[in-house]
Chain A
Amino acid sequence: QKEVEQDPGPLSVPEGAIVSLNCTYSNSAFQYFMWYRQYSRKGPELLMYTYSSGNKEDGRFTAQVDKSSKYISLFIRDSQPSDSATYLCAMSYMKTSYDKVIFGPGTSLSVIP
């Protein structure tokens, strides 16, 4: 079983829609969960991070972690064309920023005006 799994998409939604992106993972030792956004031919950019199960909100973005199910989600409200990118879930074993990051394969999102 792969360490981190993510539906690659592509996912295409109309502007203003609510987007739900999901990942599952196999190793219960992961403690730190992140979502990165990657525009074409650019480096990953951190959007959200969380340590524990539950929800974390930042503007139009909500990250959700369910450690018991080994499942994490990112919700984007009022999606905009500028949100069109690949979204990478990521996690690490330590509650620090300096541990290596294990990435999912990414979900490609297109928001259509």
Chain B
Amino acid sequence: EPEVTQTPSHQVTQMGQEVILRCVPISNHLYFYWYRQILGQKVEFLVSFYNNEISEKSEIFDDQFSVERPDGSNFTLKIRSTKLEDSAMYFCASANGTQETQYFGPGTRLLVL
């Protein structure tokens, strides 16, 4: 069964450093998302992406965040200057727009020290 993959599974970084989280969505999907889950809290929507542009973003997704689909297979989330409060599990998801679900990846656990 096709699945969304994410790399790395864990990332530790120093405050102020840039990080790039990578996702490979399911190959025929057209809609891409990033969500995050701070430890002990709910899963929160960050951004959706379709047709090479952001469709919607939450108030969490400020100027420190950016997304890109650099080629036909990868979808990335960049955090320019990480803060302690960016420590969370980041989930990528994708959808083809016709099936009744978004498929979630296993997540990248980001720890900012």
Contact = CB atoms under 8 A, between A and B. Distances in A.
Interface footprint category on A: 10 to 19
A110 B104 CA distance: 23
Contacts, number: 59
B31 interface: yes
Q: Specify which of B91, B95, B102 lies most central, judged by the most chain A CB atoms within 10 Å of its CB.
A: B102
A102 B103 CA distance: 15
A105 B45 contact: no
A98 B56 CA distance: 11
A74 B35 CA distance: 23
A97 B102 contact: yes
Contact of A49 (B48, B97, B101): B101
Interface in B20-70: 30-31, 33, 35, 41-45, 48, 50, 56, 58
5 contacts: A41-B109, A88-B43, A97-B98, A98-B50, A98-B102
